[in-house]
Amino acid sequence: MPIDVLQLTPLIAAGDEDLHRNYSVCRWYDLPDRERWLDEHNASIRAVITAGHLGISNEMFRRLPSLGLVAIAGVGYEKVDLDAARERGIRVTNTPDVLTNDVADLAVGLMIATMRQIAAADRYVRDGRWIAGEMDLAARVSGRRYGIVGFGRIGQAVARRLEGFGGSIAYTSRTKKQSPHAFHSTVIDLARESDVLIVTVAAGPATRHLVGRAVLDALGPTGFLINVARGSIIDETELIAALQDRRLAAAGLDVYADEPRVPPALSALPNVTLTPHIGSATVDARLAMARLMLANLDAFYAGHPLPTPVV
């Protein structure tokens, strides 16, 4: 049987079993000689499975003449050339909604961990330093001014969680939403009126380095930055400088510009909490993502409407 599905990213075990039970699949990440394999099998590939942070390169687009579907296990699609896909009639799908709650949970958890210095406190106990005295005091989490950059599904889910913290909530987005929370038309205005800035906006050319020096300075030396969106949205060089100079109190980051590589200067900072892009990394979310991705794949091969099309 010819290979017709190219798998660029692993799925949770149950999803992977269903995929390989129902389709003729090649795991790209296991190939010892990818170039040779692609030369031999490129004409038979009709679908590619990938993740939002991986996408698919334009070079691979060009080398798969029979490609009809790019099925993303994730919500982001900034690493897929949608114009090229439209030009060739290639469908693109993602998996929205099913990971919203888990990413929102992490955003709030990362905020608490950063402001209350939970990771540092854990190290303090493990290193035996508690016996010499107490840690420096941390920052209160509740009752703050919370700003959310991007007010789509995830941003709104974060807002719902923050409503129990007794502070004020504001947001910025491309358009004003039906929401009881205050709207700011620019990120700088939002940052100026926030103690905590939480980034949930979608990545793309329009949002690259959206959070740069001006926004960081508006947030100020008592401000906290949390990013659970994409690393490209923040200018990492400016963020590192702001953290080093204490022009920003602290940051909690789940995403980075060049994953999985994190700048050593960022890793060395004591006022930053780092997690390895785990926003959707729960069994529940990954299983739901795999099932929705497979539903798109099934619909494509059956000629039915796609459940969650991007293009």
- What's the burial of 215, exposed, middle or buried (CB within 10 Å: 0-12/13-18/19+)? buried
- Report angle CA 190, 150, 118 to the nearest 5 degrees: 80
Residue 184 is a catalytic residue: no
Examine residue 233 and state whether it is found in any structural domain, yes or no: yes
Catalytic option among 17, 40, 163, 259: 259
Does the structure show a pLDDT above 90 at 140?
yes
Judge if 75 and 197 occupy the same domain.
no
- What's the burial of 94, exposed, middle or buried (CB within 10 Å: 0-12/13-18/19+)? buried
Catalytic option among 144, 230, 238, 286: 230
Give me 251's structure tokens: 């940051």
Examine residue 310 and state whether it is found in any structural domain, yes or no: no
Judge if 148 and 254 occupy the same domain.
yes
Examine residue 190 and state whether it is found in any structural domain, yes or no: yes
Judge if 28 and 173 occupy the same domain.
no
Judge if 250 and 108 occupy the same domain.
yes
Does the structure show a pLDDT above 70 at 1?
no
Judge if 174 and 270 occupy the same domain.
yes
Mean of pLDDT values over 4-8: 97
Mean residue pLDDT across the chain: 97
- What's the burial of 30, exposed, middle or buried (CB within 10 Å: 0-12/13-18/19+)? exposed
Query: CB–CB of 79/92 below 8 Å?
Result: no
Judge if 83 and 135 occupy the same domain.
no
Residue 259 is a catalytic residue: yes
Does the structure show a pLDDT above 90 at 13?
yes
Place of tokens 């679908």: 47
Examine residue 171 and state whether it is found in any structural domain, yes or no: yes
Judge if 76 and 210 occupy the same domain.
no
Judge if 104 and 162 occupy the same domain.
yes
User: CA–CA separation, 185 vs 283, rounded Å?
Assistant: 37
CATH code: domain of residue 40: 3.40.50.720
Judge if 246 and 295 occupy the same domain.
no
Residue 78 is a catalytic residue: no
Judge if 137 and 196 occupy the same domain.
yes
Examine residue 311 and state whether it is found in any structural domain, yes or no: no
Catalytic option among 46, 53, 91, 277: 277
Burial 35-68 (b: 16+ CB within 10 A, else e): eeebeeebebbbbbbbbbbbbbeeebbeebeebb
Examine residue 43 and state whether it is found in any structural domain, yes or no: yes
- pLDDT tens, position by position, 187-246: 999 999 999 999 999 999 999 999 999 999 999 999 999 999 999 999 999 999 999 999
Examine residue 188 and state whether it is found in any structural domain, yes or no: yes
pTM over 0.75: yes
- pLDDT tens, position by position, 234-260: 999 999 999 999 999 999 999 999 999
- pLDDT tens, position by position, 48-69: 999 999 999 999 999 999 999 9
Residue 138 confidence class, pLDDT cut points 50, 70, 90: very high
Judge if 53 and 126 occupy the same domain.
no
Does the structure show a pLDDT above 80 at 81?
yes
User: CA–CA separation, 56 vs 71, rounded Å?
Assistant: 10
Judge if 257 and 112 occupy the same domain.
yes
Examine residue 255 and state whether it is found in any structural domain, yes or no: yes
H helix and E strand count, the chain: 12, 12
Q: Which range of residues forms the domain containing residue 48? A: 5-96+283-302
Q: How many domains does the chain have?
A: 2
User: CA–CA separation, 246 vs 242, rounded Å?
Assistant: 6
Give Cβ neighbours of residue 175 (< 8 Å, ≥ 6 apart): none
Does the structure show a pLDDT above 80 at 2?
no
